[in-house]
Homo-oligomer: A and B are copies of this chain.
Amino acid sequence: MNDAAINLAQKFELFNEHWQPKVVAEMNDYQFKLVKVQGDFVWHSHADTDETFLVVEGELRIDFRDRSVTVSAGEMYVVPKGVEHKPFAQSEVKMLLVEPKGVVNTGDIASDRAADDDVWI
């Protein structure tokens, strides 16, 4: 059991790279990951799981094939499993992801944007 609470702002100060989620906590078989993103990601989907985005700073746009959703600081959005999506951030966005342990950021496609899925900070 952890001795102290997890301070998100302090954890965000520990890294600067984009599109490389870092695990900060586990709950059952789910993980909470911090990530900084900027620019365009790749189109992908997760066949077996929903994916939760909670924006801490900045404004994220999630493009779907037929529309877009904007997620600003203090807002969250759950992308349903199997739905193709592409995150985009005009300026840097800091956010918290919630997803099952073992989920890869690029979902079901092979991509050089795939990050290691179990890096803790």
Interface residues of A (CB under 8 A from B): 1-9, 24-28, 30, 32, 49-52, 55, 64, 69-72, 74-78, 80-81, 83, 98, 100
Contacts and interface: CB of A to CB of B under 8 A. Distances in A.
Interface SS of A by simple majority: strand
In the A-B complex, the 9 residue pairs with the smallest Cβ-Cβ separation, listed nearest first, are A5-B75, A5-B71, A27-B50, A5-B77, A27-B52, A7-B75, A6-B76, A27-B78, A25-B78
Contacts of A77: 2, 5-6
Nearest to A55: B5
**Identical copies of this chain, number:** 2
Contacts of A2: 69, 77-78
Given A32-B76, A52-B32, A76-B32, A69 B27 contact: no
13 contacts: A2-B78, A5-B70, A5-B71, A5-B72, A6-B76, A8-B76, A25-B78, A26-B50, A27-B50, A27-B51, A28-B49, A28-B81, A32-B76
Given A78-B25, A78-B27, A5 B69 contact: yes
